[in-house]
C-alpha cells in the first residue's frame, strides 16, 4: 500500500503538470470525469456482486456491519468508518470484513479531489516555490505521524492502559498521515518533469540507485511486520525511498526497467486494479466460512479465482 500511494501520487501529479505545461491550463471537469470512468464502473460492479454474496453468507450482525461499510465505501469515506468501528488493521476480526480494503481507495480518492485544486493554485500563484511547498507538506505529514505514534506509545504505558492503539489506527487510515507517501510521489513527478536533466547529465553515476531501490523494497517485504512495527512511521520511508529510486533512475537500458517491463508483470499491472478489488472479499468470505486457513487448496483456489475474475 505504501508503494502504491507513491506511484499514485507520481502518476496523478505527472498528468496534472503535463497538461498544465502543454496547454497552459487545466480542466478540472475532464480530470474528474477520467477518474470516475477509471474507478467507478469496476468498483460498483464488484461491490454489487460482493453485496449479493454477503446477503447469503454473513450472519445478521456481520451483515449490518457490511451494510455500513458499503455505504461509506460508495462515498469514499470507508477509511473513516473503519477507523471508528474497527480494531487495529490486521487483527483477526478485521480479516472477515469484505470491504476493509476499500479504505485505501477512499484515501486515494480524497487525494484525487484535493490535489488538482492544490497544484493548480500553487502553479498559478507560487510556481517558483512549488517544490518547496511539496517538501514542506511532506515534512509536516511525517512529523504529524511521528508525533501521534509517540502519543500512542505513551498511552500504552500510562495508567489508562489503552489496548487499542488509538493514534496508530488513526495514522493507518487517514489521509493526513498518508499524505507524505502521496506527496513524495508528487515530488518525484515534479523533479522528473522539471529537473531530471540535472541528474542525467552524468547518468552513469546514478544508474545503480534503482538496484538499491529494489533492495530496500525487498528488505521491507522480508523484515517488516505489521504486528510489531507502526505503519506509517519513519520506517515506512524505507520502501518509499526504494520505489522512488526505481521510478526516478530506471531507464530503458537498465536491468530493473527490463524486469518491470516483462510481459507477465505488465499483464498483472494491467489487471492490478481488479485484483485489488476482488482479492479481499474473496479471502474474507472463505475466512468467514472458516475454511481459508484450514486447507491449502482453498488458498490456491482463492488466488486463481481472483486472477480469473480480474481478467
Q: Which residue has the higher pLDDT, 83 or 89?
A: 83
Rounded mean pLDDT of 109-123? 93
How many H helices and E strands in the chain? 15, 0
Structure confidence by residue, pLDDT tens digits, 251-278: 777 888 888 899 999 999 999 999 999 9
pLDDT at res. 204: 64
187 vs 181: CA distance, rounded Å: 10
Q: What percent of the chain has pLDDT over 70?
A: 92
- The average confidence (pLDDT) of the chain is 89
* Statement: residue 244 has pLDDT above 70: yes
Confidence of residue 154 (pLDDT cuts 50, 70, 90): low
Of 251, 256, 260, give the one whose Cα is nearest residue 197: 251
User: Under a CB-based contact definition with an 8 Å cutoff, are residues 16 and 120 in contact?
Assistant: yes
* pLDDT of 301 over the 90 cut: yes
Cell of 27: 480542466
With a pLDDT cut of 90, the percent of the chain lying above it is 66
**Cell numbers representing residue 310 in the block:** 480480474
Residue 163 pLDDT more than 90?
no
Overall average pLDDT of the 135-160 stretch: 80
Three-class secondary structure of residue 255 per DSSP? helix
Residues 6 or more apart from 111 whose CB is under 8 A from it?
A: 8, 9, 12, 175, 179, 182
* 246 pLDDT above the threshold of 70: yes
**In Å, how far are 89, 144, 285 from 156, measured between CA atoms?**
17, 19, 33
C-alpha span between 189 and 248 (Å, rounded) = 9
At residue 39 the predicted structure's pLDDT band, cuts being 50, 70 and 90, is very high
DSSP state of 193: I
Cell output for 204: 552513469
**pLDDT at position 165 over 60:** no
Residues 120-130: what's their mean pLDDT?
Answer: 90
pLDDT beyond 60 at 200: no
**pLDDT value of residue 230:** 77
pLDDT band at 85 (very low <50, low <70, confident <90, very high): confident
In terms of Cβ atoms closer than 10 Å to its own Cβ (0-12, 13-18, 19+), residue 60 is exposed
Q: What is the pLDDT of residues 91-105, one digit of tens each?
A: 888 899 999 999 999
Amino acid at each position: 500500500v505504501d508503494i502504491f500511494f507513491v506511484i499514485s501520487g507520481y502518476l496523478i501529479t505527472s498528468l496534472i503538470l503535463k497538461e498544465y505545461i502543454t496547454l497552459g491550463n487545466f480542466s478540472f471537469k475532464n480530470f474528474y470525469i477520467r477518474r470516475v470512468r477509471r474507478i467507478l464502473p469496476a468498483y460498483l460492479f464488484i461491490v454489487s456482486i460482493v453485496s449479493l454474496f454477503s446477503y447469503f453468507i454473513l450472519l445478521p450482525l456481520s451483515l449490518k456491519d457490511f451494510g455500513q461499510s458499503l455505504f461509506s465505501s460508495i462515498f469514499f469515506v470507508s477509511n473513516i468508518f473503519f477507523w471508528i468501528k474497527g480494531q487495529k488493521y490486521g487483527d483477526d476480526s478485521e480479516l472477515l470484513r469484505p470491504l476493509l480494503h476499500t479504505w485505501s481507495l477512499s484515501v486515494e480518492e480524497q487525494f484525487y479531489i484535493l490535489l488538482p485544486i492544490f497544484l493548480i493554485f500553487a502553479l498559478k500563484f507560487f510556481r517558483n516555490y512549488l517544490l518547496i511547498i511539496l517538501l514542506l507538506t511532506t515534512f509536516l505529514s511525517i512529523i504529524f505521524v511521528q508525533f501521534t505514534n509517540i502519543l500512542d506509545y505513551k498511552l500504552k504505558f500510562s495508567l489508562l492502559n489503552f489496548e487499542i492503539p488509538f493514534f496508530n489506527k488513526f495514522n493507518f487510515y487517514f489521509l493526513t498521515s498518508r499524505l507524505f507517501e502521496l506527496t513524495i510521489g508528487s515530488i518525484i513527478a515534479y523533479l522528473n518533469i522539471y529537473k531530471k536533466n540535472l541528474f542525467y547529465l552524468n547518468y552513469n553515476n546514478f544508474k545503480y540507485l534503482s538496484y538499491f531501490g529494489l533492495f530496500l523494497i525487498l528488505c521491507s517485504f522480508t523484515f517488516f511486520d505489521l504486528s510489531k512495527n507502526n505503519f506509517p512511521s519513519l520506517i515506512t520511508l524505507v520502501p518509499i525511498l526504494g520505489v522512488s529510486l526505481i521510478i526516478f533512475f530506471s531507464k530503458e537500458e537498465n536491468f530493473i526497467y527490463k524486469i518491470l517491463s516483462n510481459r507477465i508483470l505488465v499483464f498483472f499491472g494491467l489487471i492490478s486494479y481488479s485484483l485489488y478489488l476482488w482479492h479481499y472479499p474473496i479471502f474474507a468470505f472463505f475466512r468467514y466460512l472458516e475454511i481459508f486457513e484450514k486447507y491449502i487448496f482453498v488458498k490456491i483456489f482463492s488466488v486463481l479465482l481472483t486472477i480469473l475474475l480480474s481478467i
